[in-house]
Structure 1
Amino acid sequence: MTVPVFRFAPSPNGHLHLGHAYSALLNYRSALATGGRFLLRVEDIDTVRCTPELERDMLEDLAWLGLTWETPVLRQSENFADYEDALQKLEQMGVTYRAYLTRGEIKRFVAEKEAAGASWPHDPDGAPHYPGDRAVLSDEECRRRADADAPFAVRLDMRRALELVREPLTWRECSAELPASPAGPEWFEPDEITAAPDAWGDVILARKDTPTSYHLSVVVDDARQGVTDVMRGRDLYHATSVHRLLQILLGLPQPRYRHHRLILDHDGRKLAKSDRSTSLRELRMAGHTAEDVRERIGIPDDV
Protein backbone atom coordinates (compact mmCIF):
# COMPACT_ATOMS: atom_id res chain seq x y z
CA MET A 1 0.00 0.00 0.00
CA THR A 2 1.24 3.50 -0.78
CA VAL A 3 2.15 5.80 2.08
CA PRO A 4 -1.06 7.46 3.35
CA VAL A 5 -1.23 11.23 2.95
CA PHE A 6 -3.58 13.25 5.16
CA ARG A 7 -4.21 16.98 5.11
CA PHE A 8 -5.85 19.67 7.20
CA ALA A 9 -7.03 22.58 5.07
CA PRO A 10 -8.44 25.53 7.05
CA SER A 11 -9.32 29.00 5.79
CA PRO A 12 -7.72 31.95 7.64
CA ASN A 13 -10.93 33.99 7.59
CA GLY A 14 -11.40 33.83 11.36
CA HIS A 15 -9.90 32.13 14.38
CA LEU A 16 -9.94 28.35 14.73
CA HIS A 17 -12.44 26.76 17.14
CA LEU A 18 -12.80 23.35 18.79
CA GLY A 19 -14.22 21.81 15.62
CA HIS A 20 -11.08 22.75 13.74
CA ALA A 21 -8.95 21.36 16.57
CA TYR A 22 -10.76 18.01 16.37
CA SER A 23 -10.33 17.73 12.60
CA ALA A 24 -6.69 18.81 12.68
CA LEU A 25 -5.76 16.43 15.49
CA LEU A 26 -7.69 13.54 13.96
CA ASN A 27 -5.83 13.94 10.67
CA TYR A 28 -2.49 14.38 12.43
CA ARG A 29 -2.90 11.38 14.73
CA SER A 30 -4.16 9.24 11.83
CA ALA A 31 -1.03 10.08 9.84
CA LEU A 32 1.14 9.06 12.81
CA ALA A 33 -0.79 5.81 13.32
CA THR A 34 -0.44 4.79 9.67
CA GLY A 35 3.16 5.87 9.16
CA GLY A 36 1.83 8.46 6.75
CA ARG A 37 2.35 12.13 5.98
CA PHE A 38 0.48 15.12 7.36
CA LEU A 39 0.09 18.24 5.23
CA LEU A 40 -1.26 21.66 6.06
CA ARG A 41 -3.00 23.59 3.28
CA VAL A 42 -4.14 27.20 3.60
CA GLU A 43 -7.42 27.66 1.71
CA ASP A 44 -7.32 31.41 1.19
CA ILE A 45 -9.10 31.95 -2.13
CA ASP A 46 -11.17 34.62 -0.38
CA THR A 47 -8.46 37.27 -0.48
CA VAL A 48 -10.66 39.82 1.30
CA ARG A 49 -11.60 37.92 4.47
CA CYS A 50 -8.43 35.82 4.63
CA THR A 51 -5.56 37.87 6.00
CA PRO A 52 -1.87 37.28 6.83
CA GLU A 53 -2.63 38.13 10.47
CA LEU A 54 -5.31 35.45 10.73
CA GLU A 55 -3.03 32.93 9.03
CA ARG A 56 -0.27 33.71 11.53
CA ASP A 57 -2.70 33.21 14.42
CA MET A 58 -3.92 29.96 12.88
CA LEU A 59 -0.40 28.53 12.59
CA GLU A 60 0.32 29.53 16.19
CA ASP A 61 -2.84 27.78 17.41
CA LEU A 62 -2.01 24.58 15.53
CA ALA A 63 1.55 24.52 16.86
CA TRP A 64 0.15 25.10 20.38
CA LEU A 65 -2.00 21.98 19.91
CA GLY A 66 1.19 20.02 19.28
CA LEU A 67 0.95 19.62 15.52
CA THR A 68 3.87 19.66 13.10
CA TRP A 69 3.57 19.61 9.33
CA GLU A 70 5.60 19.45 6.17
CA THR A 71 6.85 22.64 4.56
CA PRO A 72 6.41 24.57 2.41
CA VAL A 73 2.73 25.04 3.13
CA LEU A 74 0.51 25.22 0.05
CA ARG A 75 -1.47 28.46 -0.15
CA GLN A 76 -4.30 28.50 -2.64
CA SER A 77 -3.92 32.22 -3.31
CA GLU A 78 -0.51 31.43 -4.86
CA ASN A 79 -1.94 28.90 -7.31
CA PHE A 80 -4.83 30.64 -9.07
CA ALA A 81 -3.31 29.81 -12.47
CA ASP A 82 -3.73 26.07 -11.82
CA TYR A 83 -7.42 26.49 -11.01
CA GLU A 84 -7.86 28.60 -14.14
CA ASP A 85 -6.31 25.77 -16.18
CA ALA A 86 -8.77 23.26 -14.68
CA LEU A 87 -11.65 25.62 -15.35
CA GLN A 88 -10.56 26.02 -18.97
CA LYS A 89 -10.56 22.24 -19.41
CA LEU A 90 -14.14 22.12 -18.19
CA GLU A 91 -15.07 25.02 -20.48
CA GLN A 92 -13.57 23.17 -23.45
CA MET A 93 -15.78 20.19 -22.58
CA GLY A 94 -18.82 22.46 -22.83
CA VAL A 95 -19.93 21.86 -19.25
CA THR A 96 -19.74 25.42 -17.90
CA TYR A 97 -21.60 28.66 -18.50
CA ARG A 98 -21.69 32.22 -17.20
CA ALA A 99 -24.57 32.98 -14.87
CA TYR A 100 -25.54 36.61 -14.30
CA LEU A 101 -28.39 36.40 -11.80
CA THR A 102 -27.71 37.99 -8.43
CA ARG A 103 -28.47 36.22 -5.17
CA GLY A 104 -31.38 38.60 -4.64
CA GLU A 105 -32.86 37.81 -8.05
CA ILE A 106 -32.58 34.08 -7.43
CA LYS A 107 -34.19 34.42 -4.00
CA ARG A 108 -37.11 36.48 -5.32
CA PHE A 109 -37.73 34.17 -8.26
CA VAL A 110 -37.79 31.04 -6.11
CA ALA A 111 -39.92 32.74 -3.44
CA GLU A 112 -42.50 33.69 -6.08
CA LYS A 113 -42.59 30.14 -7.43
CA GLU A 114 -43.03 28.65 -3.99
CA ALA A 115 -45.64 31.23 -3.01
CA ALA A 116 -47.61 30.14 -6.08
CA GLY A 117 -47.53 26.55 -4.83
CA ALA A 118 -44.69 25.24 -6.98
CA SER A 119 -41.98 23.02 -5.55
CA TRP A 120 -38.43 24.22 -6.16
CA PRO A 121 -35.37 21.99 -5.64
CA HIS A 122 -32.80 22.93 -3.00
CA ASP A 123 -29.31 21.54 -2.54
CA PRO A 124 -28.21 19.58 0.57
CA ASP A 125 -27.15 22.85 2.22
CA GLY A 126 -30.60 24.35 1.67
CA ALA A 127 -29.76 26.76 -1.16
CA PRO A 128 -32.16 26.81 -4.13
CA HIS A 129 -31.01 25.36 -7.43
CA TYR A 130 -30.04 27.93 -10.03
CA PRO A 131 -33.03 28.60 -12.30
CA GLY A 132 -31.06 29.79 -15.34
CA ASP A 133 -30.80 33.37 -16.52
CA ARG A 134 -33.53 33.07 -19.15
CA ALA A 135 -36.04 31.85 -16.59
CA VAL A 136 -35.79 35.26 -14.94
CA LEU A 137 -34.36 37.73 -17.45
CA SER A 138 -35.42 38.70 -20.94
CA ASP A 139 -33.17 37.80 -23.88
CA GLU A 140 -32.37 41.50 -24.23
CA GLU A 141 -31.30 41.81 -20.59
CA CYS A 142 -29.18 38.67 -20.84
CA ARG A 143 -27.37 40.17 -23.85
CA ARG A 144 -26.99 43.53 -22.11
CA ARG A 145 -25.32 41.99 -19.04
CA ALA A 146 -23.00 39.88 -21.18
CA ASP A 147 -22.02 42.87 -23.36
CA ALA A 148 -21.44 45.02 -20.27
CA ASP A 149 -19.23 42.32 -18.70
CA ALA A 150 -21.46 42.43 -15.62
CA PRO A 151 -20.53 40.39 -12.52
CA PHE A 152 -21.07 36.67 -13.12
CA ALA A 153 -20.47 33.23 -11.73
CA VAL A 154 -19.14 30.34 -13.78
CA ARG A 155 -21.44 27.41 -13.10
CA LEU A 156 -21.20 23.72 -13.89
CA ASP A 157 -23.90 22.58 -16.31
CA MET A 158 -24.82 19.55 -14.26
CA ARG A 159 -26.94 17.87 -16.93
CA ARG A 160 -24.25 18.08 -19.60
CA ALA A 161 -21.53 17.05 -17.16
CA LEU A 162 -23.40 13.90 -16.15
CA GLU A 163 -23.93 13.02 -19.81
CA LEU A 164 -20.14 12.80 -20.21
CA VAL A 165 -19.64 10.35 -17.32
CA ARG A 166 -19.13 6.80 -18.53
CA GLU A 167 -18.34 5.14 -15.21
CA PRO A 168 -20.28 4.56 -11.99
CA LEU A 169 -20.44 7.70 -9.87
CA THR A 170 -19.38 6.47 -6.46
CA TRP A 171 -16.87 7.30 -3.78
CA ARG A 172 -14.93 5.25 -1.24
CA GLU A 173 -16.00 6.00 2.34
CA CYS A 174 -13.85 4.64 5.18
CA SER A 175 -13.83 4.83 8.96
CA ALA A 176 -13.33 8.30 10.44
CA GLU A 177 -12.52 7.01 13.92
CA LEU A 178 -9.07 7.54 15.35
CA PRO A 179 -7.19 4.35 14.44
CA ALA A 180 -5.17 2.24 16.80
CA SER A 181 -1.43 2.66 16.49
CA PRO A 182 -0.40 1.08 14.23
CA ALA A 183 -3.59 1.08 12.16
CA GLY A 184 -4.80 -2.28 10.95
CA PRO A 185 -5.79 -3.00 7.32
CA GLU A 186 -9.49 -2.97 8.24
CA TRP A 187 -9.22 0.79 8.82
CA PHE A 188 -8.62 1.18 5.08
CA GLU A 189 -11.54 -0.99 3.93
CA PRO A 190 -14.00 1.27 2.08
CA ASP A 191 -17.72 1.20 1.50
CA GLU A 192 -18.85 2.23 -1.98
CA ILE A 193 -21.22 5.18 -1.71
CA THR A 194 -23.40 6.18 -4.65
CA ALA A 195 -22.79 9.82 -5.55
CA ALA A 196 -25.68 12.12 -6.42
CA PRO A 197 -24.16 15.38 -7.71
CA ASP A 198 -27.42 16.41 -9.40
CA ALA A 199 -28.79 17.10 -5.90
CA TRP A 200 -26.65 20.25 -6.00
CA GLY A 201 -27.88 21.67 -9.29
CA ASP A 202 -25.50 23.87 -11.28
CA VAL A 203 -22.82 24.57 -8.65
CA ILE A 204 -20.51 27.57 -8.83
CA LEU A 205 -16.97 26.82 -10.03
CA ALA A 206 -15.60 30.38 -10.17
CA ARG A 207 -16.60 34.03 -10.24
CA LYS A 208 -15.61 36.97 -12.39
CA ASP A 209 -13.23 38.26 -9.71
CA THR A 210 -12.14 34.86 -8.31
CA PRO A 211 -10.95 32.12 -10.71
CA THR A 212 -12.01 29.24 -8.49
CA SER A 213 -14.42 27.99 -5.84
CA TYR A 214 -14.07 25.56 -2.96
CA HIS A 215 -15.38 22.68 -5.08
CA LEU A 216 -12.88 23.22 -7.88
CA SER A 217 -9.79 24.13 -5.85
CA VAL A 218 -10.17 21.28 -3.35
CA VAL A 219 -10.09 18.54 -6.01
CA VAL A 220 -7.19 20.18 -7.86
CA ASP A 221 -5.15 20.54 -4.66
CA ASP A 222 -5.89 17.06 -3.29
CA ALA A 223 -4.61 15.62 -6.59
CA ARG A 224 -1.61 17.98 -6.70
CA GLN A 225 -0.55 17.03 -3.17
CA GLY A 226 -1.14 13.31 -3.60
CA VAL A 227 -3.69 13.19 -0.77
CA THR A 228 -4.85 9.61 -0.26
CA ASP A 229 -7.24 10.15 2.66
CA VAL A 230 -9.56 13.15 2.86
CA MET A 231 -10.71 13.28 6.47
CA ARG A 232 -13.18 16.10 7.12
CA GLY A 233 -16.47 16.92 8.84
CA ARG A 234 -19.83 15.29 8.17
CA ASP A 235 -21.10 18.64 6.94
CA LEU A 236 -19.12 18.03 3.73
CA TYR A 237 -20.36 14.46 3.20
CA HIS A 238 -22.83 15.34 0.43
CA ALA A 239 -20.37 17.71 -1.28
CA THR A 240 -18.27 14.63 -2.05
CA SER A 241 -20.70 13.85 -4.88
CA VAL A 242 -19.67 17.06 -6.66
CA HIS A 243 -15.99 16.42 -5.99
CA ARG A 244 -16.15 12.93 -7.48
CA LEU A 245 -17.83 14.29 -10.60
CA LEU A 246 -15.14 16.94 -11.04
CA GLN A 247 -12.39 14.36 -10.46
CA ILE A 248 -13.81 12.17 -13.21
CA LEU A 249 -14.22 15.07 -15.65
CA LEU A 250 -10.67 16.33 -15.00
CA GLY A 251 -9.05 12.90 -14.90
CA LEU A 252 -7.91 13.27 -11.29
CA PRO A 253 -7.25 10.38 -8.87
CA GLN A 254 -9.84 9.36 -6.31
CA PRO A 255 -8.80 9.50 -2.64
CA ARG A 256 -10.47 7.65 0.21
CA TYR A 257 -12.97 9.81 2.10
CA ARG A 258 -13.54 9.83 5.84
CA HIS A 259 -16.25 12.11 7.26
CA HIS A 260 -15.92 12.56 10.99
CA ARG A 261 -18.41 13.68 13.63
CA LEU A 262 -18.90 17.37 14.29
CA ILE A 263 -18.18 19.17 17.54
CA LEU A 264 -21.45 20.84 18.56
CA ASP A 265 -22.27 23.75 20.86
CA HIS A 266 -24.59 23.60 23.88
CA ASP A 267 -27.61 24.02 21.56
CA GLY A 268 -26.57 21.11 19.37
CA ARG A 269 -25.41 23.32 16.48
CA LYS A 270 -22.20 22.96 14.51
CA LEU A 271 -19.48 25.33 15.64
CA ALA A 272 -18.86 28.13 13.16
CA LYS A 273 -16.65 31.19 12.87
CA SER A 274 -19.64 33.21 11.70
CA ASP A 275 -21.46 32.42 14.96
CA ARG A 276 -18.46 33.59 17.00
CA SER A 277 -17.96 30.14 18.50
CA THR A 278 -15.32 30.18 21.24
CA SER A 279 -11.95 30.16 19.52
CA LEU A 280 -8.80 28.29 20.45
CA ARG A 281 -7.14 31.66 20.87
CA GLU A 282 -9.70 32.68 23.48
CA LEU A 283 -9.23 29.39 25.32
CA ARG A 284 -5.47 29.95 25.35
CA MET A 285 -5.89 33.50 26.67
CA ALA A 286 -8.17 32.16 29.42
CA GLY A 287 -5.44 29.82 30.63
CA HIS A 288 -6.57 26.53 29.12
CA THR A 289 -3.91 24.08 27.95
CA ALA A 290 -3.68 22.00 24.82
CA GLU A 291 -4.33 18.96 27.01
CA ASP A 292 -7.59 20.59 28.16
CA VAL A 293 -8.65 21.00 24.55
CA ARG A 294 -7.80 17.44 23.59
CA GLU A 295 -9.76 16.09 26.55
CA ARG A 296 -12.73 18.32 25.73
CA ILE A 297 -12.98 17.10 22.13
CA GLY A 298 -12.22 13.46 22.90
CA ILE A 299 -8.71 13.06 21.50
CA PRO A 300 -6.71 11.05 24.06
CA ASP A 301 -3.18 12.09 24.98
CA ASP A 302 -1.83 8.56 25.04
CA VAL A 303 -2.20 7.85 21.32
Structure 2
Amino acid sequence: MPPPVFRFAPSPNGYLHLGHAYSALLNADLARAGGGRLLLRIEDIDTTRCRPDYEAAIYQDLAWLGIAWEPEVRRQSDHLDLYRDAVAQLTARGLVYPAFESRAEIARLVAARDAVAPWRRDPDGAPLYPGSGKTLSAAERAKLIASGTPYALRLDMDAARALVGELSWSERGEGPAGETGTVAARPDAWGDVVIARKETPTSYHLSVVIDDALQGVTEVVRGADLFWATSVHRLLQVLLDLPTPVYRHHRLLRDAEGRKLSKSSAATGLRELRAAGVSPQQIRSMVGLAPAG
Protein backbone atom coordinates (compact mmCIF):
# COMPACT_ATOMS: atom_id res chain seq x y z
CA MET A 1 0.00 0.00 0.00
CA PRO A 2 1.51 3.39 -0.93
CA PRO A 3 2.36 5.78 1.90
CA PRO A 4 -0.15 8.52 2.79
CA VAL A 5 0.48 11.92 1.25
CA PHE A 6 -0.08 15.11 3.26
CA ARG A 7 0.29 18.73 2.22
CA PHE A 8 0.62 22.16 3.78
CA ALA A 9 -0.73 24.86 1.46
CA PRO A 10 -0.27 28.45 2.71
CA SER A 11 -0.97 31.62 0.74
CA PRO A 12 1.90 34.14 0.52
CA ASN A 13 -0.34 37.11 1.31
CA GLY A 14 1.17 37.77 4.73
CA TYR A 15 3.52 36.30 7.31
CA LEU A 16 2.74 33.00 9.03
CA HIS A 17 1.34 33.02 12.56
CA LEU A 18 0.78 30.44 15.29
CA GLY A 19 -2.30 29.05 13.57
CA HIS A 20 -0.26 28.25 10.49
CA ALA A 21 2.43 26.73 12.67
CA TYR A 22 -0.10 24.41 14.29
CA SER A 23 -1.45 23.23 10.94
CA ALA A 24 2.00 22.76 9.41
CA LEU A 25 3.36 20.93 12.46
CA LEU A 26 0.27 18.72 12.69
CA ASN A 27 0.64 17.75 9.02
CA ALA A 28 4.33 17.01 9.55
CA ASP A 29 3.67 14.98 12.70
CA LEU A 30 0.94 12.91 11.06
CA ALA A 31 3.06 12.28 7.98
CA ARG A 32 5.98 11.16 10.14
CA ALA A 33 3.83 8.94 12.35
CA GLY A 34 2.19 7.27 9.37
CA GLY A 35 5.36 6.82 7.34
CA GLY A 36 3.94 9.27 4.83
CA ARG A 37 5.09 12.12 2.64
CA LEU A 38 4.69 15.85 3.24
CA LEU A 39 4.31 18.22 0.30
CA LEU A 40 4.34 22.01 0.24
CA ARG A 41 2.07 24.02 -2.04
CA ILE A 42 2.06 27.80 -2.44
CA GLU A 43 -1.49 29.01 -3.13
CA ASP A 44 -0.69 32.27 -4.89
CA ILE A 45 -3.57 32.83 -7.29
CA ASP A 46 -4.42 36.17 -5.62
CA THR A 47 -1.87 38.27 -7.50
CA THR A 48 -2.98 41.49 -5.80
CA ARG A 49 -2.04 40.30 -2.31
CA CYS A 50 0.58 37.56 -2.77
CA ARG A 51 4.22 38.72 -2.70
CA PRO A 52 7.60 37.02 -3.22
CA ASP A 53 8.90 38.20 0.15
CA TYR A 54 5.98 36.52 1.90
CA GLU A 55 6.72 33.31 0.01
CA ALA A 56 10.38 33.47 1.02
CA ALA A 57 9.31 34.00 4.63
CA ILE A 58 7.15 30.84 4.49
CA TYR A 59 10.19 28.74 3.61
CA GLN A 60 12.22 30.38 6.37
CA ASP A 61 9.56 29.91 9.04
CA LEU A 62 8.89 26.28 8.16
CA ALA A 63 12.60 25.44 8.10
CA TRP A 64 13.01 27.13 11.50
CA LEU A 65 10.18 24.99 12.87
CA GLY A 66 12.08 21.90 11.71
CA ILE A 67 9.58 20.96 9.01
CA ALA A 68 10.99 19.23 5.94
CA TRP A 69 8.97 18.87 2.76
CA GLU A 70 9.55 17.10 -0.51
CA PRO A 71 10.65 18.95 -3.62
CA GLU A 72 9.26 20.30 -5.81
CA VAL A 73 7.14 23.00 -4.26
CA ARG A 74 3.97 23.47 -6.30
CA ARG A 75 3.06 27.09 -7.02
CA GLN A 76 -0.47 27.58 -8.28
CA SER A 77 0.50 30.53 -10.45
CA ASP A 78 2.60 28.13 -12.55
CA HIS A 79 -0.43 26.02 -13.48
CA LEU A 80 -3.14 28.45 -14.55
CA ASP A 81 -3.69 26.63 -17.84
CA LEU A 82 -4.77 23.51 -15.96
CA TYR A 83 -7.44 25.47 -14.13
CA ARG A 84 -8.60 27.07 -17.40
CA ASP A 85 -8.99 23.60 -18.88
CA ALA A 86 -11.15 22.50 -15.95
CA VAL A 87 -13.36 25.58 -16.29
CA ALA A 88 -13.69 24.84 -20.01
CA GLN A 89 -14.80 21.28 -19.22
CA LEU A 90 -17.49 22.49 -16.85
CA THR A 91 -18.58 25.21 -19.26
CA ALA A 92 -18.93 22.72 -22.11
CA ARG A 93 -21.34 20.75 -19.93
CA GLY A 94 -23.49 23.81 -19.30
CA LEU A 95 -22.49 24.04 -15.65
CA VAL A 96 -20.88 27.49 -15.65
CA TYR A 97 -22.23 30.95 -16.45
CA PRO A 98 -20.78 34.48 -16.26
CA ALA A 99 -22.26 36.88 -13.70
CA PHE A 100 -21.58 40.57 -14.30
CA GLU A 101 -22.72 42.29 -11.09
CA SER A 102 -20.03 44.10 -9.12
CA ARG A 103 -19.62 43.46 -5.40
CA ALA A 104 -21.37 46.76 -4.73
CA GLU A 105 -24.28 45.78 -6.96
CA ILE A 106 -24.57 42.42 -5.24
CA ALA A 107 -24.61 44.17 -1.85
CA ARG A 108 -27.47 46.39 -3.03
CA LEU A 109 -29.43 43.40 -4.32
CA VAL A 110 -28.98 41.57 -1.04
CA ALA A 111 -30.06 44.63 0.95
CA ALA A 112 -33.22 44.89 -1.14
CA ARG A 113 -34.04 41.23 -0.54
CA ASP A 114 -33.22 41.47 3.17
CA ALA A 115 -35.77 44.28 3.41
CA VAL A 116 -38.45 41.78 2.41
CA ALA A 117 -37.16 38.65 4.17
CA PRO A 118 -33.74 37.50 5.40
CA TRP A 119 -31.69 36.46 2.36
CA ARG A 120 -29.93 33.12 2.59
CA ARG A 121 -26.29 33.04 3.70
CA ASP A 122 -23.64 30.43 3.05
CA PRO A 123 -21.87 28.60 5.90
CA ASP A 124 -19.33 31.43 6.11
CA GLY A 125 -22.12 33.98 6.54
CA ALA A 126 -21.83 35.55 3.07
CA PRO A 127 -25.07 36.07 1.12
CA LEU A 128 -25.82 33.67 -1.70
CA TYR A 129 -25.58 35.10 -5.18
CA PRO A 130 -28.76 37.13 -5.80
CA GLY A 131 -28.12 38.28 -9.37
CA SER A 132 -29.57 37.48 -12.77
CA GLY A 133 -26.50 36.09 -14.54
CA LYS A 134 -28.08 32.67 -15.01
CA THR A 135 -31.08 34.10 -16.87
CA LEU A 136 -29.18 36.24 -19.41
CA SER A 137 -29.38 35.14 -23.01
CA ALA A 138 -26.29 34.03 -24.89
CA ALA A 139 -26.43 37.25 -26.92
CA GLU A 140 -26.62 39.41 -23.79
CA ARG A 141 -23.66 37.59 -22.25
CA ALA A 142 -21.60 37.92 -25.43
CA LYS A 143 -22.35 41.64 -25.64
CA LEU A 144 -21.27 42.26 -22.03
CA ILE A 145 -18.08 40.22 -22.44
CA ALA A 146 -17.22 42.03 -25.68
CA SER A 147 -17.67 45.38 -23.92
CA GLY A 148 -15.02 44.43 -21.36
CA THR A 149 -17.42 44.24 -18.41
CA PRO A 150 -15.79 42.33 -15.51
CA TYR A 151 -17.44 39.06 -14.60
CA ALA A 152 -17.25 36.08 -12.31
CA LEU A 153 -17.75 32.55 -13.59
CA ARG A 154 -20.23 30.82 -11.31
CA LEU A 155 -21.12 27.15 -10.95
CA ASP A 156 -24.80 26.52 -11.69
CA MET A 157 -25.46 24.64 -8.47
CA ASP A 158 -28.89 23.33 -9.50
CA ALA A 159 -27.55 21.94 -12.77
CA ALA A 160 -24.49 20.46 -11.08
CA ARG A 161 -26.50 18.79 -8.32
CA ALA A 162 -28.83 17.30 -10.92
CA LEU A 163 -25.87 15.36 -12.36
CA VAL A 164 -24.65 13.79 -9.12
CA GLY A 165 -26.23 11.78 -6.36
CA GLU A 166 -25.78 12.13 -2.64
CA LEU A 167 -22.29 13.23 -1.63
CA SER A 168 -20.27 12.61 1.52
CA TRP A 169 -16.71 12.53 2.76
CA SER A 170 -14.67 10.66 5.33
CA GLU A 171 -13.81 12.96 8.24
CA ARG A 172 -11.12 12.00 10.74
CA GLY A 173 -11.19 15.31 12.54
CA GLU A 174 -14.25 17.17 13.71
CA GLY A 175 -16.66 19.74 12.36
CA PRO A 176 -18.10 22.79 14.12
CA ALA A 177 -20.90 20.75 15.69
CA GLY A 178 -18.81 17.64 16.30
CA GLU A 179 -19.39 16.08 12.88
CA THR A 180 -17.01 13.22 12.22
CA GLY A 181 -16.89 9.87 10.41
CA THR A 182 -18.99 9.88 7.24
CA VAL A 183 -20.28 13.43 6.73
CA ALA A 184 -23.04 14.28 4.29
CA ALA A 185 -21.97 17.04 1.90
CA ARG A 186 -24.30 20.00 1.43
CA PRO A 187 -22.98 21.98 -1.56
CA ASP A 188 -26.39 23.58 -2.08
CA ALA A 189 -25.76 25.66 1.04
CA TRP A 190 -23.19 27.67 -0.95
CA GLY A 191 -25.41 28.63 -3.86
CA ASP A 192 -23.80 29.38 -7.22
CA VAL A 193 -20.19 29.65 -6.06
CA VAL A 194 -17.50 31.49 -8.01
CA ILE A 195 -15.06 29.10 -9.65
CA ALA A 196 -13.11 31.68 -11.70
CA ARG A 197 -13.07 35.35 -12.65
CA LYS A 198 -12.30 37.24 -15.83
CA GLU A 199 -8.89 38.27 -14.46
CA THR A 200 -8.15 35.06 -12.54
CA PRO A 201 -8.87 31.72 -14.27
CA THR A 202 -9.58 29.85 -11.04
CA SER A 203 -10.74 30.12 -7.44
CA TYR A 204 -9.74 28.50 -4.19
CA HIS A 205 -12.46 25.86 -4.53
CA LEU A 206 -11.42 24.83 -8.03
CA SER A 207 -7.65 24.97 -7.70
CA VAL A 208 -7.51 23.12 -4.39
CA VAL A 209 -9.29 20.01 -5.69
CA ILE A 210 -7.22 19.95 -8.89
CA ASP A 211 -3.96 20.41 -7.01
CA ASP A 212 -4.75 17.75 -4.41
CA ALA A 213 -5.56 15.28 -7.17
CA LEU A 214 -2.49 16.04 -9.29
CA GLN A 215 -0.19 15.91 -6.27
CA GLY A 216 -1.65 12.60 -5.14
CA VAL A 217 -2.72 13.98 -1.77
CA THR A 218 -4.54 11.34 0.25
CA GLU A 219 -4.91 13.18 3.60
CA VAL A 220 -6.13 16.78 3.73
CA VAL A 221 -5.41 18.25 7.17
CA ARG A 222 -6.63 21.84 7.51
CA GLY A 223 -8.53 24.24 9.75
CA ALA A 224 -12.14 23.75 10.81
CA ASP A 225 -13.07 27.02 9.07
CA LEU A 226 -12.91 25.04 5.81
CA PHE A 227 -15.06 22.16 7.06
CA TRP A 228 -18.23 22.96 5.11
CA ALA A 229 -16.29 24.14 2.05
CA THR A 230 -15.51 20.44 1.65
CA SER A 231 -19.09 20.09 0.36
CA VAL A 232 -18.19 22.19 -2.68
CA HIS A 233 -14.92 20.32 -3.09
CA ARG A 234 -16.68 16.97 -3.12
CA LEU A 235 -19.06 18.21 -5.82
CA LEU A 236 -16.20 19.45 -8.00
CA GLN A 237 -14.30 16.20 -7.49
CA VAL A 238 -17.24 14.23 -8.85
CA LEU A 239 -17.86 16.62 -11.75
CA LEU A 240 -14.18 16.55 -12.77
CA ASP A 241 -13.70 12.83 -12.04
CA LEU A 242 -11.04 13.46 -9.40
CA PRO A 243 -10.10 11.20 -6.46
CA THR A 244 -11.33 11.97 -2.97
CA PRO A 245 -8.84 12.30 -0.12
CA VAL A 246 -9.64 11.69 3.53
CA TYR A 247 -10.19 14.91 5.46
CA ARG A 248 -9.10 15.90 8.95
CA HIS A 249 -10.27 19.36 10.03
CA HIS A 250 -8.51 20.62 13.12
CA ARG A 251 -9.31 23.21 15.75
CA LEU A 252 -8.54 26.86 15.12
CA LEU A 253 -6.21 28.87 17.29
CA ARG A 254 -7.83 32.07 18.51
CA ASP A 255 -6.78 35.31 20.16
CA ALA A 256 -7.78 36.54 23.61
CA GLU A 257 -11.09 37.85 22.20
CA GLY A 258 -11.91 34.49 20.63
CA ARG A 259 -11.20 35.59 17.06
CA LYS A 260 -9.41 33.38 14.56
CA LEU A 261 -5.76 34.40 14.31
CA SER A 262 -4.99 36.88 11.55
CA LYS A 263 -1.84 37.47 9.52
CA SER A 264 -2.01 41.08 10.69
CA SER A 265 -1.45 40.10 14.33
CA ALA A 266 2.20 40.67 15.22
CA ALA A 267 1.60 39.14 18.66
CA THR A 268 1.26 35.68 17.11
CA GLY A 269 3.53 36.10 14.08
CA LEU A 270 6.30 33.50 13.80
CA ARG A 271 8.84 36.10 12.67
CA GLU A 272 8.18 38.23 15.74
CA LEU A 273 8.19 35.26 18.10
CA ARG A 274 11.47 34.00 16.64
CA ALA A 275 13.03 37.46 16.98
CA ALA A 276 11.90 37.53 20.60
CA GLY A 277 13.87 34.37 21.31
CA VAL A 278 11.03 31.85 21.30
CA SER A 279 12.26 28.38 20.30
CA PRO A 280 10.57 25.89 17.94
CA GLN A 281 9.90 23.60 20.90
CA GLN A 282 8.19 26.46 22.69
CA ILE A 283 6.07 27.04 19.60
CA ARG A 284 4.92 23.42 19.78
CA SER A 285 3.91 23.96 23.39
CA MET A 286 2.13 27.22 22.57
CA VAL A 287 -0.05 25.51 19.95
CA GLY A 288 -0.78 22.50 22.13
CA LEU A 289 1.45 19.87 20.52
CA ALA A 290 3.74 17.46 22.36
CA PRO A 291 7.50 17.98 22.07
CA ALA A 292 9.04 16.60 18.90
CA GLY A 293 10.44 13.12 19.28
TM-score (norm 2): 0.93
Kept after mapping to 1: 8 A contact 2:122/2:191 = yes
Counterparts in 2 of 1:233-248, with a 5 A limit?
233-248=223-238
Kept after mapping to 2: 8 A contact 1:271/1:277 = no
Which deviates the most, 280-289 or 26-35? 280-289
Against the structure 1 CA distance between its residues 130 and 275, is the aligned structure 2 distance closer, same or farther, given a 3 Å change threshold? farther
Against the structure 1 CA distance between its residues 274 and 102, is the aligned structure 2 distance closer, same or farther, given a 3 Å change threshold? farther
Against the structure 1 CA distance between its residues 158 and 135, is the aligned structure 2 distance closer, same or farther, given a 3 Å change threshold? closer
Q: Which residue of 2 aligns with 1:126?
A: 125
Gapped runs of 5+ residues in structure 2?
175-179
- AA in 2 matched with 1:105: E
Which deviates the most, 103-112 or 275-284? 275-284
CA distance in 1, matches of 2:209, 2:52: 24
CA distance in 1, matches of 2:260, 2:28: 22
Q: Which residue of 2 aligns with 1:182?
A: none
Counterparts in 2 of 1:95-110, with a 5 A limit?
95-110=95-110
How far residue 7 of structure 1 moved from its aligned partner, in angstroms, is 0.3
Gapped runs of 5+ residues in structure 1?
177-189
Q: Please give the secondary structure, in 2, of the residue aligned with 1:230.
A: strand
Q: Which residue of 1 aligns with 2:288?
A: 298
> Is 1:264–2:257 an aligned residue pair?
no
| CA offset digits 1:56-113 (Å, max 9, x no partner) | 0111000000000001100000000111111111111110000100111111111122
Q: Please give the secondary structure, in 2, of the residue aligned with 1:72.
A: strand
Against the structure 1 CA distance between its residues 13 and 257, is the aligned structure 2 distance closer, same or farther, given a 3 Å change threshold? same
CA distance in 2, matches of 1:141, 1:86: 24
Root-mean-square deviation (Å): 2.1
| CA offset digits 1:99-151 (Å, max 9, x no partner) | 10011111111112212x32211111111111123699999986753331211
Q: Work out which of the residue numbers 289, 298, 303 in structure 1 matches 2:279.
A: 289
Count residues with an aligned counterpart.
288
| CA offset digits 1:170-192 (Å, max 9, x no partner) | 1111147xxxxxxxxxxxxx821
CA distance in 1, matches of 2:85, 2:137: 32
How far residue 272 of structure 1 moved from its aligned partner, in angstroms, is 1.6
- Percent of aligned pairs with the same amino acid: 57
- AA in 2 matched with 1:231: V
Q: Please give the secondary structure, in 1, of the residue aligned with 2:247.
A: strand
Kept after mapping to 1: 8 A contact 2:281/2:292 = no
CA distance in 2, matches of 1:85, 1:265: 41
How far residue 5 of structure 1 moved from its aligned partner, in angstroms, is 0.3
CA distance in 1, matches of 2:109, 2:222: 34
CA distance in 1, matches of 2:118, 2:173: 37
